Chain A
Amino acid sequence: MSESMDSNHDTTPEWERLARGAAGGERDVDLEPELQRELLTFQLDGTHYAIAVERVREIIRLREITPMPRVPDCILGVVALRGEIVQVLDLRERLGLASSEPTRRTRIIVLHGEDDRVTGIQVDAVRDVLRVAEQDVDASGDNAGAAVAELCRRDNDFVSIIDLDQVLDFNDG
């Protein structure tokens, strides 16, 4: 991503704006010796979740999803994305949360993927990019191997960091 700020904010994609906001405009790496993590935070069923920013390719508005037969329930279907056909995962369903109708704020976060594994995940709303120091991230305790492996604190709330490899692995059912 370019460091120069685009003067025309209205046409800047939502995702880029978020990332730049997090970066705080000009970045000076030398002043930040401690290890930092950048997380994209979003909402699901009233709770805050996060995933690693590097995994995110883009964020798109909800568009028509073509359902697919013979796939697990949590696969909503496929969307056409500039010539690519990408499966969209219902993260509520995958995490075992109550399902809900999409709203105006519903977004699809498109994740990078090698070997034809680009995937979209549908979330209730995207919030922002959060930067946390590595030492402020804690293992989520006894549920190792589950979808939420780590937690971090934001003000008075906890943010659950999702283990995407776990969520996207369908081999173990």
Chain B
Amino acid sequence: MAARKSSAKKAGVDKAQREFVAEAEEILERMREDLGELSDQRVAGAEVDPDLVNSIFRSAHSLKGLAGMFGFEGLSELAHRLEDILDGLRLGRIRMDNPAVDLLDEAVTLFTALFTQLGDESYEAEAATRIGELVARIETAAEDPSQPQDSLDPLDIAPMLLRALTEYEEHRLRENISRRRHVLLVDTSFEITAFEEGLSEVSAAIREVGEVVSTLPSPGDAPESQIRFSLLVATETPAADLSARLEFPDTDIKTVLAATAAPAESSAAPQPPVEASAAQSGGAEAAPAETGSGEVPGDGATGKGGARGGDLESLKSISDTVRVDIHKLDKLMNLVGELVIQRSAIARIATRLAADPTTSRIAAELFKTHKGLDRKLKELQASVLDVRMVPLRQIFEKLSRVVRRLQRDQSKDVNLGFSGEATELDKLIVEQLVDPLMHVVRNAFDHAIEGEDERVSAGKSREGNIWIDASQRGNHVVIEVRDDGRGIDPTAVREKAEAAGLVEPGQLLSDKDCLNLIFEAGLSTATGVSGTSGRGVGMDVVRTNLSDLGGIVVVSSEPGRGTAITMTLPITLAIIQTLIVAVGRDRFAIPLNSVLETLLIDASEIQRSERRELLNVRGEPLQLQRLSDEFGLDAPPQDRHYVVVLGLGELRLGLLVDRLDGQQDTVIKSIQGPAAQVRGIAGATELGDRGAVLVIDVSAIVEDSLRRRDAA
């Protein structure tokens, strides 16, 4: 098996590889730190912190996935072996004194060495050999006779509860028993509405003196509004003392196993790390547990590597990528924004100078300078924005991993197709897009795609299909998730919505409006309940998440043919162009990327239909919303109004204002204070000499207005 990828034939390292190395280096860095800590704990003879082992396990797991995704099979294989060892450790299948544990450090060193050679064709065979060797040694070392297990019989605990423990929890329980700790069962109950908070408080209080081995919901005879939990706790504090520490109502503590003081020859008693491990491991010397202490052992078996620096862990970073905290970029962006404001101040001074004949020549020069400054600022702005942009490819790759796993778990054949993975979005938006997108794809997989038999009898292909298309449209990115599954029946949605009290019987709703009810909280079209979707939460969360990003989501579907979920998002949340509007004495900024056009109309052109106001725009009715009504502003009656036509996805709304006050580049800032979160306000911005101006949250205003129409 070779650490290989077809593109490795090209000279140099391509972009994907650079990305891989940048991300993998970070994981390795963390592993090195954790392993150092682990080694310290082992040397000190102390009990090894289970969270530490878990952390290293997660790192190995991420590394495996990452290497696999980029096609580095050898690396992935090695990471897989590490994962096995660590999994064994955390589940107690492998003991901490197993020689394989010593090989973890060596593996990390090898990884780092291999990265420096990535893309070097002549090195491939050698890399494969070295990986093969280490894998073999790990396998030999890991063959550890399984330890005798302490019986859980003496525990005074319901067998049902014991059976509910995961393998990991069971291991932690045994480990604690072997360390002669008290095992207690803490029974407690909370109001359903606040149980998460209560549970985390109780757990935190217990963790001060012990370990929460498992938290299990317990059937008990709790009142209907309450939920009961049993916490299995291991601690050196006796039950009575713990009971005194936990000042929570409705909490009982029962001793399941009292600690015995007698020292026992337990197999799991702490032992000093075994130094002779290398002897059994097939030749080469195992790396000492402590890395980074000056000397890194060379690997004599594959001497060739030395010529290229081989095993020597280079201190020089391999990739030329700089990882930057996004907040630093935010700061940079803010500075640019403030420069833009200063620039407009210069323009105003120039205008004043131009008005006076004695200074008009200076004014002309100032205007020229201003223009130059303006050009450079725009470039600066674009470059800073560019740094923040990342392609959607990363999310798409995550999604295909999830779908592959779902396929394995549920043995359902679904093809996932992509287009537009090069489309770029602001890093912050991408981060927050992962969850909602994942949810939509899982929904499609779990509920939309039918079982094989159902598909065949409907004349469809055996495998289901999900497509994700991304494209840029102006200042927005549109992401569409389509499937060829069973589709959504608007009538069924409507029935559920009526049952849930979201819609009045007889209320007039188009099929499209019915479909979009799936985004209401408390409505699920799923008949069954599966792992993460179909519990009536989900699509409303998707909508909330998107609307936090200034985006919007709509659904369309053809029963029997498939469903499409379309998400529309702004490209960036940083600097945006805004239109300044005024109502009475109040001014607001509206992000220009949501403004389709502005119209000047006569008050008499406004038509009333039931409780809403409409405007005929080129033959199409446009729903109007007065900004003064929305925000309760003082607005003297006017003969003429400006209509700002807002467009989000396919939704349209005309916002009625008194005046337009020009366009501005603005940096949206969050409002600070005790009542800062206000529906309909996305933040505020500073407008040169004009103080703070509130920025309208277009998606909230459009959604609220259109929903009020639906409810009317």
Which A residues are closer than 8 A to B by beta carbons? 63-72, 75, 77-80, 83-89, 113, 116-120, 168-170
Residues of A within 8 A of B692 (CB): 66, 77-80, 85
With A66-B692, A69-B632, A70-B679 already in contact, the answer to whether A83 and B334 are too (CB < 8 A) is: yes
Q: Note all chain A residues with C-beta closer than 8 A to B630.
A: 69
CB pair B631 A69 closer than 8 Å: yes
Q: Is the CB of B671 within 8 A of A87?
A: yes
Instruction: Judge whether B694 is part of the interface by a CB distance below 8 angstroms.
Output: yes
Does the CB pair A75–B675 fall under 8 Å?
yes
B527 at the interface (CB under 8 A from A): no
Query: Which of B633, B672, B685 contacts A69, CB < 8 Å?
Result: B633
Instruction: Judge whether B676 is part of the interface by a CB distance below 8 angstroms.
Output: yes
> In the bound complex, how far is the Cα of B417 from the Cα of A128, in angstroms?
69
9 nearest A-B residue pairs (beta carbon) = A87-B673, A69-B631, A80-B686, A85-B684, A80-B692, A118-B672, A66-B692, A64-B691, A168-B674
B280 contacts A by Cβ under 8 Å: no
12 A-B pairs whose Cβ atoms sit less than 8 Å apart in the complex:
A66-B693, A66-B694, A67-B586, A71-B678, A80-B684, A80-B691, A83-B334, A85-B670, A85-B684, A87-B676, A118-B673, A119-B673
A78 touches B673 (CB 8 A): yes
Does B142 sit within 8 A of A, measured CB to CB?
no
Closest to A77 in B: B692
**Could you tell me how many residues of chain B have their Cβ less than 8 Å away from some Cβ of chain A?**
28
Query: Who on chain B is nearest to A67 by CB?
Result: B586
User: Interface residues, chain B, CB within 8 Å of chain A?
Assistant: 334, 338, 586-587, 630-633, 669-676, 678-681, 683-686, 691-694
Partner of A86, one of B632, B673, B694: B673
Q: A66-B684, A67-B586 are in contact. Are A116 and B676 (CB under 8 A)?
A: yes
CB distance from A162 to the nearest CB of B (A): 14
A68 touches B672 (CB 8 A): no
Is the beta-carbon distance between B671 and A78 smaller than 8 angstroms?
yes
Look across to chain B and name the residue whose beta carbon is closest to the beta carbon of A171: B674
Q: Are A85 and B671 CB-contacts (below 8 A) given A79-B691, A80-B691?
A: yes
CB distance from A84 to the nearest CB of B (A): 6
Residue of A nearest to B669 (CB): A85
CB of B675 within 8 A of CB of A170, answer yes
In the bound complex, CA of A169 to CA of B630 (Å): 26
- Which residues of chain A are near B338, meaning CB under 8 Å? 83
Contacting residues, chain A, for B669 (C-beta < 8 A) = 83-85
The distance in angstroms between the C-alpha atoms of A20 and B271, with both chains bound, is 61
Instruction: Note all chain B residues with C-beta closer than 8 A to A72.
Output: 675
| Complex Cα–Cα for A75 and B693 (A) | 16
Question: Contact check: which of B587, B633, B673, B694 meets A117 at CB < 8 Å?
Answer: B673
Q: Is the CB of A117 within 8 A of B683?
A: no
A77 / chain B contacts, CB cutoff of 8 Å: 692
Shortest Cβ gap from B411 to chain A (Å):
46
Residues of A contacting B686 with CB < 8 Å?
Answer: 80, 83, 85
